[in-house]
Amino acid sequence: MSQADDSTLVEDIESIQSDKFVEVNYDDRIPNNVDLSSDRQLQRALESWQPNYVDWWKEMGPEGFQNADVYLRTAVGVDPAGWAKFGYVKMPDYRWGILLAPKVEGRTIPHGKHKGEPAWQEVPGEYRSLLKRLIVVQGDTEPASVEQQRWLGATAPSLYDMRNLFQVNVEEGRHLWAMVYLLVKYFGKDGREEAQALLERRSGHQDNPRILGAFNEKTPDWLSFFMFTYFTDRDGKMQLAALAESGFDPLSRSCRFMLTEEAHHLFVGETGVGRTVEATCAAMNKAGITDPYDTEAIRKLGVVDLPLLQRKANFHMSVTRDLFGSEISSNGADAFNTGLKGRFNEAKLEGDDHQLQDAFYKVQRVVDGQLVWEDVPALRAINSRLLDDYIADCQGGIDRWNKAIEKAGINFKISQPHKGFNRRIGEFAGHHISPSGELMGAEAFAAAKGEWLPNDADMAFIHSLMKPHHAPGQYASWIAPPRMGINQQPVDYEYVKID
């Protein structure tokens, strides 16, 4: 694990760290720990996908920095204390590889109707299309996020942040490789076609968009990037953790390794927002401003007012909640019941039979114009449960941001909006619910929306802050320098060498 990871994040890191890794073979054209050279057909298929991937990266990856030397980490395997090495790399030369967590001998399917049977090493024929769909949806999000973030390098608030952006980007690229490996190895011609389609869809494209809504939104500024890596990458954590419980063992092993990389992405998000909060509080205190709503005066200091941070967070939280699908879903039930996708921490959950045939789960719904709680068959409420676990998981970082605000003596608290706020998918879609959980009419909602979600003036102000700070040790006014650099390097290290 990177030395840069903050001690406050140990729970994220510990909860998702795999136990043991296998050495990666870097002699092959495609680095791997899956003995790729023993399967010539698979190797050839992946080697013919590889140049298309690099073309996609050059076209859709970080704009303007493809020739820069970036201080990146690359996975080399072995064990959790030292699984990655650091060094300067030009991004198109990054060694994207195929890495699976080691096989657990005797592993059984942890849940659903096949619970207790040996985990599948090959695709279970009857569930082929459902399994393929889950892998494709997961795979599609990875290049999508790189596309969404491709313009951000030009306005990086420091070289440290720029490097973290590129680290996240190359690792999302590797996560795409992880899903493509599964598609090509286990799904024949169909899988190869899906692997190609993953390089053809484009985030936000009118005719050929990415599959899930949030991945077609823009990431127009660095505050969005930090919110995205805190809130949306956390959906990645939850979904990967649920897929790590899969009865299809190669998927489980892929996701277990991906989770290790995901910890750094969450760190980037949490500390990015945290450093923004820190800069705001310090500037307010220095100027003697105590009212967090004195927006005009606060913005003059070149920092982001806390109510604006809340509105940004509201947007990213609500859009990300949609990524869990409908709270009540037969797809969700099928994914669990077939054993293809578990709940968060499935194998460690105590207190039920992991089959849930007779169990119920409480789901909040809108019935006859009222918000009510209903007992729903637990199988059909699998998505709802993962969403609830996600919302609970979001709170840790928010509490830490609030602690910093409180310590600075400012009377403001960042909070999570009601689950139904600003939703487009699921139980609350089509309803208008305020952040505090009141059902309201469309007109009243529209009139208040600018207080709850970033408005035009907010976006124009954020845009005005997005100026490049590309000299070593330089940080934009709106974000505090980090407490530590990456891999024990100083905070003024030249993390990116720009031509």
Residues at the site binding ligand BYC, with contacts judged by CB under 6 A:
133-134, 137-138, 141-142, 145, 172, 212-213, 232-233, 235-236, 239, 322-326, 329, 331-332, 341, 383, 425
Residue 424 · residue 379 · CB < 8 Å: no
CB of 315 to ligand BYC, least distance (A): 15
CB of 335 to ligand BYC, least distance (A): 6
Cross-strand pairs, 84: 75
CB of 277 to ligand BYC, least distance (A): 22
Residue (69 or 172) nearer to ligand BYC, CB: 172
CB neighbour list of residue 233: distance below 8 Å, 6 or more residues apart: 168, 262, 265, 266, 269
Joined tokens for residue 22: 């296998």
CB of 310 to ligand BYC, least distance (A): 22
Instruction: Give the residue from 129, 250, 239 showing the smallest Cα distance to 191.
Output: 129
Residue 4 · residue 486 · CB < 8 Å: yes
Spatial strand order of the sheet with 496-497 comes to 84-90, 69-75, 496-497
Residue (145 or 224) nearer to ligand BYC, CB: 145
Angle subtended at Cα 126 by Cα 121 and Cα 130, rounded to the nearest 5 degrees: 85
Residue (74 or 329) nearer to ligand BYC, CB: 329
CB of 385 to ligand BYC, least distance (A): 12
CB of 78 to ligand BYC, least distance (A): 25
CB of 136 to ligand BYC, least distance (A): 9
CB neighbour list of residue 499: distance below 8 Å, 6 or more residues apart: 67, 68
Residue 37 · residue 94 · CB < 8 Å: no
CB of 241 to ligand BYC, least distance (A): 10
Residue (136 or 486) nearer to ligand BYC, CB: 136
Residue (4 or 135) nearer to ligand BYC, CB: 135
Nearest residue relative to ligand BYC (C-beta):
325
Residue (138 or 276) nearer to ligand BYC, CB: 138
Residue (36 or 255) nearer to ligand BYC, CB: 255
CB of 242 to ligand BYC, least distance (A): 7
CB of 146 to ligand BYC, least distance (A): 8
Residue (85 or 424) nearer to ligand BYC, CB: 424
Residue (18 or 280) nearer to ligand BYC, CB: 18
Residue (127 or 412) nearer to ligand BYC, CB: 127
Measured CA to CA, the distance from residue 260 to residue 281 in angstroms comes to 32
